[in-house]
């Protein structure tokens, strides 16, 4: 096969350091950028195979999201914008770890197992973030694509946005501070800023002109440190939000007049959006089910509020967008958010059609029609393929404007339980195995019993441990009635993990 000559020749230009072993995790491959050249080349090849197999365009995204600028990563995106299927994640790991002289065999194995017709066309979109390592690494992906005869029709930054719904005239909270984390989201906000001016005035910080990506800024910094980005002066009560480096996460926050910091994370965002949509469904008289999908990290108060006060269906899945996405697809309207600010809203085809019918129905009364039009605008503004910080921001801003709601009123929907996250270094994190959407540990033996008895010592307490999918650590989460209790519980549970 001619293509294998090419594979051998080209792959020698992107050699694998012998012995290096990496795993395709929750967010693809992610590590220090220096270790990734061969991985990129190989993922270019794999994307080409996947494209030939599915006869659709496959995306390859070069980014390490909220991780430091020195890191980079790569993930493959299936035709509908979904994450790669599990069998192909295994191929990714196999190709990544094949030693140099074994690579051609590893590629052939995928071709055989999947019965891929190599004469088919392949198209691969390559996207990258603004990291300094991204141009060279995305070139390595492109080399991998061409080594197997695929095409890279267009490459560049993947981000597309639809129009924003018009906002209320009387709304006097038009100002928003945006922390762009010195990433791609900042560049995109700059481009669209002037289109928004009437409805929304944005002050953009960390716009990429001087600071380092994700350094002391961005959604992850704000969420984990529970404080505003360094170098930003925010006035008391002012509404602010932070993206992460690749703009697929968003969190909101403000400081009150006592200087206290208030975080409105993915759980608060899901609550705001689902409450809004549920009200509109009632006004429109539409019989569509709506669910909120969360992970174990969702604050207990948010789950209680959604279930008991809002009476919406709440589901819990494993961490990682693909798990939430799949669960959300089971409902007419599925709102999914991780507490870290990663999420979006999915509308089933049937829901979109019913909404459209009502919006166009000449006989429906004004209330119904207005509700249907607002639902339709939501469908238009949200990015259903993947959580996207900018479209999430536009939706949140539109909801606040339509409801005439301040960030403080939004925050007051429920009060978060104090919580603490820790990470623990262990010799092998894979000895921890979990069940029940990562809320309970099944191994090692005795660990869950130990956690249960620690949790019993505190009021309103909950805790779980899970092996990270992106770092070599075990993560510990604890929440309880007071911050002291949450801190103590997290500490005690982390000792039980050793």
Annotated binding site: 65, 244, 246, 248, 338-340, 466-470, 475
Q: Which is nearer to ligand 16G, 278 or 466 (CB)?
A: 466
Q: Which residues define the annotated binding site for substrate?
A: 338-340, 466-470, 475
Tell me, residue by residue from 16 to 45, as one string, x for binding to ligand 16G by CB under 6 A and - for no binding. ----------xx------------------
Query: CA of 469: how far to CAs of 22, 31, 84, 208, 348, in Å?
Result: 12, 12, 15, 28, 30
Residue ranges at the known binding site for Mg(2+): 65, 244, 246, 248
| First-to-final CA distance of the chain | 51
In the bound complex, what is the minimum distance in angstroms from residue 401's beta carbon to ligand 16G? 28
Site string for ligand 16G, 422-461 (x = CB under 6 A): ----------------------------------------
The DSSP letter of residue 254 is: E
Q: Which of residues 302-361 bind ligand 16G (CB under 6 A)?
A: 319-321, 338, 340, 342
- Report if residue 470 touches ligand 16G, rule: CB under 6 A: yes
Q: How many residues does the chain have?
A: 498
Partner that binds at residue 26, options ligand 16G, Zn ion, none, CB closer than 5 to 8 Å by kind: ligand 16G
Q: What track of x and - describes contact with Zn ion for positions 83 through 102 (by CB under 5 A)?
A: --------------------
φ/ψ (deg, to 5) at 328 = -65, -30
* 475 scored as a contact of ligand 16G (CB under 6 A): yes
Tokens of residue 269, six digits: 């965002």
Give pairs for 448-452: CB < 8 Å, separation 24+: 450/493, 450/496, 451/493, 451/496
For position 144 contacting ligand 16G by CB under 6 A, the verdict is no
Give the alpha-carbon dihedral of 494, 242, 235, 273, to 10 degrees.
Answer: -90
Catalytic residue among 65, 133, 138, 494: 65
Q: How many helices (H) and strands (E) does the chain have?
A: 16, 19
152 binds ligand 16G (CB under 6 A): no
| Angle at CA of residue 226, ends 224 and 227, nearest 5° | 120
CB-based contacts of 408, cutoff 8 Å, min separation 6 = 237, 254, 256, 262
Neighbours of 213 (CB within 10 A): 29
CA neighbor of 244 nearest in space, from 220, 216, 272: 220
Judged by beta carbon, residue 244 or residue 411, the one nearer Zn ion is: 244
Select from 8-16, 44-52, 63-71, 89-97 the region that touches Zn ion (CB under 5 A).
63-71
- Which tokens in the block code for residue 79? 């035709």
Write down the least CB distance from residue 319 to ligand 16G, Å: 5
Contacted by 340, from Zn ion, ligand 16G, none: CB < 5 to 8 Å by type: ligand 16G
Pair 386, 344: CB distance under 8 Å: yes
In DSSP terms, 83 is beta-bridged to 77
Window 235-254: residues binding Zn ion (CB under 5 A): 244, 246, 248
* C-beta of 388 vs 397, nearer to ligand 16G: 388
268 interacts with ligand 16G by CB under 6 A: no
Applying CB under 5 A, among 65, 123, 152, 302 the residue interacting with Zn ion is: 65
Site string for ligand 16G, 60-79 (x = CB under 6 A): -----x--------------
85 binds ligand 16G (CB under 6 A): no
Strand partners, 477: 421, 464
Residue 244 touches which of ligand 16G, Zn ion, none (Cβ within 5-8 Å per kind): Zn ion
At 272, list the tokens: 């705001």
- Cα separation, 310 vs 413, whole angstroms: 11
Tokens of 395: 């939706």
Stretch that binds ligand 16G, among 280-288, 437-445, 464-472, 479-487 (CB under 6 A): 464-472
Residue range at the interface with Zn ion (CB under 5 A); choices 57-65, 82-90, 149-157, 268-276: 57-65
Which residue, 49 or 219, has its beta carbon nearer to ligand 16G?
219
Looking only at Cα atoms, what is the longest distance across the chain? 71
List all residues 6 or more positions away from 430 whose beta carbon is below 8 Å from its beta carbon: 467
Give the number of other Cβ atoms within 10 Å of residue 120's Cβ. 15
DSSP assignment of 67-99 equals: S-TTEEEEEEE-TTSPBPPHHHHHHHHHHHHS-
The one among 237, 300, 418, 469 contacting ligand 16G by CB under 6 A: 469
Which residues, numbered 188-247, are part of the site for ligand 16G (CB under 6 A)? Answer: none
- The yes-or-no answer on residue 453 being catalytic is no
Cβ pair 340, 223 in contact under 8 A:
yes
441, two tokens:
């540990």
Cα separation, 461 vs 469, whole angstroms: 25
Residue 6 binding target from Zn ion, ligand 16G, none, CB below 5 to 8 Å by type: none
Using the minimum distance from each CB to Zn ion, give the nearer residue, 30 or 42. Answer: 30
69 binds Zn ion (CB under 5 A): no
Closest approach of Cβ 139 to ligand 16G, in Å?
A: 23
> Which strands form 240-243's sheet, in the order they lie side by side?
201-205, 175-179, 240-243, 250-255, 261-264
Regarding 134 and contact with Zn ion (CB under 5 A), the answer is no
| Per CB under 5 A, 332 contacts Zn ion | no
Q: Is 247 in contact with 219 (CB distance < 8 Å)?
A: no
| Contact partner, 319, from ligand 16G, Zn ion, none, Cβ < 5-8 Å per class | ligand 16G
Whether 72 contacts 314, CB under 8 Å: no
Q: Which residues are catalytic?
A: 65
Residues that bind Zn ion (CB under 5 A): 65, 244, 246, 248
Residues that bind ligand 16G (CB under 6 A): 26-27, 65, 319-321, 338, 340, 342, 468-471, 475
């Amino acid at each position: 096969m001619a293509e294998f000559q090419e594979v051998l020749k080209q792959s020698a230009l992107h050699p694998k350091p012998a012995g290096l072993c990496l795993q395709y995790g929750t967010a693809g491959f992610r590590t220090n950028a220096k270790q990734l050249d061969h991985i990129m080349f190989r993922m270019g090849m794999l994307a080409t195979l996947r494209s030939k197999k599915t006869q659709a365009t496959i995306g390859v995204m070069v980014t390490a999201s909220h991780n430091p600028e020195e890191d980079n990563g790569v993930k493959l995106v299936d035709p509908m914008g979904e994450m790669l299927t599990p069998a192909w994640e295994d191929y990714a790991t196999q190709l990544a770890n094949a030693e140099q002289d074994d690579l051609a065999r590893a590629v052939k194995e995928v071709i055989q197992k999947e019965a891929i017709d190599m004469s088919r066309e392949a198209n691969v979109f390559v996207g990258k973030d603004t990291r300094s390592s991204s141009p060279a690494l995305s070139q390595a992906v492109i080399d991998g694509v061409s080594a197997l005869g695929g095409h890279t029709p267009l490459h560049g930054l993947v981000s597309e946005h639809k129009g924003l719904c018009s906002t209320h005239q009387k709304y006097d909270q038009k100002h928003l501070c945006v922390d762009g984390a010195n990433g791609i989201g900042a560049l995109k906000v700059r481009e669209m800023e002037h289109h928004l001016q009437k409805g929304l005035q944005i002050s953009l910080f960390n716009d990429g002109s001087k600071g380092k990506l994700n350094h002391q800024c961005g959604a992850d910094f704000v969420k984990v440190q529970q404080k505003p980005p360094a170098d930003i002066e925010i006035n008391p009560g002012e509404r602010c939000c932070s993206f992460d480096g690749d703009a697929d996460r968003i969190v909101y926050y403000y400081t009150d007049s006592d200087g206290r910091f208030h975080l409105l994370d993915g759980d608060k965002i899901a609550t705001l959006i689902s409450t809004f949509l549920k009200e509109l469904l009632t006004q429109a008289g539409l019989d569509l089910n709506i669910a909120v999908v969360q992970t174990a990290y969702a604050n207990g108060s948010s789950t209680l509020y959604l279930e008991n006060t809002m009476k919406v269906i709440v589901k819990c899945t494993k961490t990682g967008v693909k798990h939430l996405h799949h669960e959300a697809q089971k409902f007419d309207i599925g709102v999914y958010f991780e507490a870290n600010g990663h999420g979006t809203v999915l509308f089933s085809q049937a829901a979109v059609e019913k909404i459209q019918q009502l919006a166009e129905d000449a006989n429906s009364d004004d209330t119904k029609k207005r509700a249907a039009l607002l639902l339709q605008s939501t469908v238009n503004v949200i990015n259903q393929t993947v959580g996207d910080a900018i479209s999430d921001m536009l939706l949140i801003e539109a909801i606040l404007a339509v409801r005439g709601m301040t960030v403080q009123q939004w925050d007051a929907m429920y009060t978060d339980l104090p919580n603490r996250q820790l990470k623990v270094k262990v010799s092998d994190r894979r000895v921890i195995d979990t069940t029940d959407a990562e809320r309970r540990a099944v191994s090692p033996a005795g660990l869950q019993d130990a956690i249960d008895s620690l949790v019993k010592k505190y009021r309103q307490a909950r805790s779980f441990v899970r092996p990270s999918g992106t770092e070599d650590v075990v993560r510990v989460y604890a929440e309880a009635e007071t911050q002291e209790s949450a801190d103590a519980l997290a500490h005690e549970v982390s000792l039980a993990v050793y």
